Amino acid sequence: MSELLKSYFALNERILTATELSGRDHSCVQLLAVSKRQPALRVRELYQLGQLAFGESYLQEAIQKMDELSDLSIQWHFIGPLQSNKTRQLAARFDWVQSVDSEKLLIRLSEQRPEELSPLNILLQVNIDSESQKRGINPSQLEALAKQAIRLKGIRLRGLMTIPKPGKSRAEQERSFAKVAALMQQIKPLSAKIDTLSMGMSADIETAIASGSTMVRVGSLLFGSRGE
């Protein structure tokens, strides 16, 4: 059995166990395989094991991989920092953009999504620990931005994404995740399409799932260290 196969099975098992322990339906947490800094060959290998959704953080690297893997039906998610001069390529090439944190980006993605494609799935990134360096929307501005996202053509608001401050205690993590879960409940009534809460990475999968995550984004635990 390959190392990747072993870690993929082990990870799916871990997600399932955490989901069941939280008393949630076994299929309600999706795995996003974070393939940044991993070669296309490994993405192909994982796809052949059944993984369809992949996350990338760097646009040029992602586009190169997409071109190499254009024979596969991969669902591509952008999870990296966004720059407004890159939105045209994002809107044309990705299925999901998870790191949207401003009105300007929403409008550009909406206008630039090619008409022949289905709407671009959008998650609004929430800055939950109020870190001045980190990107993300301040919770107080979220509802207004969500309402606007719902009105725009070419995009479909699906929910929220968050990256908590690293190195926190489990109790602090739980508090942060609970705040995001509450924001999710606040915006859910705005649209029936809002169903995705993207939170949890290699280091905090169980806490995130216990707090209501519907999508965990996992890189190093799956592929091994990126050597960054």
Ligand X SMILES: *Cc1c(COP(=O)(O)O)cnc(C)c1O
Report the interface residues with ligand X, using CB under 6 A: 34, 36, 57, 79, 163, 201-203, 217-221
Least distance CB 106 / ligand X (angstroms): 19
Q: Give the residue from 195, 177, 176, 63 showing the smallest Cα distance to 122.
A: 195
Query: What minimum distance in Å lies between the beta carbon of 116 and ligand X?
Result: 29
**Dihedral angle over CA of 71, 11, 198, 125, nearest 10:** -80
Residues 44, 211: Cα–Cα separation, whole Å:
32
Amino acid at 112: Q
Q: CB-wise, 4 or 221, nearer to ligand X?
A: 221
Closest CB to ligand X: residue number: 219
Q: CB of residue 167 vs ligand X: minimum separation in angstroms?
A: 13
Q: Which is nearer to ligand X, 159 or 219 (CB)?
A: 219
At its nearest, how many Å lie between ligand X and the CB of residue 147? 25
Nearer Cβ to ligand X, position 100 or 201? 201
Which residues are CB-neighbours of 87 under 8 A, at least 6 positions away?
Answer: 105, 108, 109, 112
CA distance 23 to 210: 9
CB atoms under 10 Å from CB of 22, counted, come to 16
**Which of 212/219 has CB closer to ligand X?**
219
